[in-house]
Amino acid sequence: MEVTGSSGGAAAVGPCARIPAEHMEFIRQVLDRVGDKWSLLLIAVVEAGPLRYTDLQRQVPGISQRMLTLTLRQLREDGLITRTAYAEVPPRVEYSLTPLGRGLHEIVTSLIGWAADHHDEIREHRARAAAPAARS
């Protein structure tokens, strides 16, 4: 796997970072699915045990019914969450993470933790980039 050989002209890349082209395919697939506006957030929230539709809607501020339904369906089709419907008088539906989903949830937790740790730093950078004025 060590492609640091000097035979090629454009070597000198790092040791492990060259992403194999074969991997690109499913990286893209996962990123396409998970890289929308709500999936990761929903993964993060639904971890709190079986949650009902309206619970999710309340916990995720700003999401519309449409997007909630759509995203939940996709996550379910990918095997990341389960949907359990109870045939009761007021219908009740509960969503939970599958084991597969829990694996992803750990990563989402990392991401959220990282965001929590560094969002100040990012906001500073962003503000600094937006204001090219500050120069004595």
Partner DNA sequence: CGGAATCCATTCGGATACTG
Partner DNA sequence: CAGTATCCGAATGGATTCCG
Contact residues for DNA (CB under 7 A)? 36-38, 52-55, 62-67, 69, 72-73, 83, 85, 90-93
Tokens of 50: 């079986």
Of the candidate spans 64-72, 84-92, 108-116, the one that interacts with its own copies by CB under 8 A turns out to be 108-116
CB 101 within 8 A of CB 40: no
Decide whether 91 or 103 has the Cβ nearer to its own copies: 103
Residue 63 interface partner, choices DNA, its own copies, none, CB cut-off 5-8 Å depending on type: DNA
**Least distance (Å) from DNA to the CB of residue 82?**
12
CB 60 within 8 A of CB 68: yes
Partner whose footprint covers residue 77, from DNA, its own copies, none (CB < 5 to 8 Å by kind): its own copies
Q: From residue 22, give the alpha-carbon distance in Å to each of 10, 26, 68, 95.
A: 20, 8, 33, 34
Q: Given the structure tokens 């084991």, which residue do they identify?
A: 99
Rule CB under 8 A: which of 26-55 touch its own copies?
Answer: 26-32, 34-37, 40-41, 44-45, 47-49, 51, 55
Tell me the helices (H) and strands (E) count for the chain, helix number first. Answer: 5, 3
